[in-house]
Amino acid sequence: MPYPIPAPLLEVDLHPGKPPILHTDTPDDAQAWAAEHHHALRTLVTEHGAVLIRGLHLRDTDQAAAVFRELAPSLMTDREAFAPRQTYTPGVYSSSQWPPNQPMCMHHEISYTLQPPGLMLFACLTAPTTGGATAIADAPTVLEALPTELVHRFEQEGWLLTRTYNDEIGAPYAEAFGTDDRTAIEDYCRTHAIELAWQPDGSLRTRQRRPAVTAHPVTGRRCWFNQIAFLNEWTIEPEIREYLIDVYGAEGLPFNTRFGGGDPIGPDIVELLNDTYTAHTTREPWQAGDLMLVDNVRTAHSREAFQGPREVLVAMAEPLRPAQCPPTVEVSPR
């Protein structure tokens, strides 16, 4: 009786300035290919932090969702989103609704939650005319490049996210929490270490303190893991920031970040963080049919400004428990 032939090893192309790219040609059954190579792909993601698979010819939402579920059978429900998304099927979403002419800076997806995803899945159904890449940056490398004193302070204090939910800017609280029931929202915040205060006009303000540095759940490497720069007021376009402050006041911005002890984070620090990310960014323009897997702890990602239609589906999986990814500070708010 002949022994079964092992599946061929998957090899990726490694080029400076680009993410690891795996070329295949699977025009007929991308779902079956994903099922066959599930473990090899996860190994590649752990090894490299991300992998772009080109040649699956993903054509529609149903096909992309089926591939997602072969690679991560239990997809997460998006909670505490900072911007609206369209839900296609449970656990499969559109990219965040963000102005196409404004980039989304490097970040780790919902790293301000108590159980952020360990794995991000992206599928490009329509590539933009120009721009729009989902660029990536290696979190341990970024951490090593940052000033020791700054890292030490964030390790000691963590970072603080403040949010003001309203119906005009960002995701309304009913969408972010999946309900408009105030009691249910209060229960969620209480169990997820979030301080909240209902405002006289009916809006909601929250504060949550989170670690800025964490250990990778598999390798143990220290990773810069947060959204300090992306959700800070100084990353917002100046004219938009001025408009928001004029309308809502400095304390009513839809989101902002501070040092964990409450001190403001100045524009110089935000610029330093974004410049450090830029120096370690790799990118590859999307092509229709591409699939990208990203280790959400090891690898930050961004979305560059673009022109033309762009449809990139997103899914989150493998939620992390504190024991898997131990924080460097207590997460309860002060």
Q: Provide the pLDDT for residue 290.
A: 97
Q: What does pTM read for this prediction?
A: 0.93
Alpha-carbon gap, residue 163 to 278, rounded angstroms: 26
Report residue 323's pLDDT band, with 50, 70 and 90 as the boundaries: low
Matching residue, tokens 């390790």 = 155
Torsion of CA 66, 84, 307, 89, to 10 degrees: 20
Q: Nearest 5°: CA angle at 321, between 232 and 208?
A: 30
d(CA 91, CA 89): 6
pLDDT in tens, 29-47: 999 999 999 999 999 999 9
Each residue's pLDDT tens digit, 112-127: 999 999 999 999 999 9
> Strand 299-303 relative to strand 281-282: parallel, antiparallel, unpaired?
unpaired
In order of start, what are the domains of the chain with their CATH numbers?
21-102+112-134+284-297+306-319 (3.60.130.10), 141-274 (3.60.130.10)
* Residue type at 28 in one-letter notation: D
pLDDT band at 83 (very low <50, low <70, confident <90, very high): confident
Q: Is a pLDDT exceeding 50 seen at residue 297?
A: yes
| Beta-carbon count within 10 A of 12 CB | 15
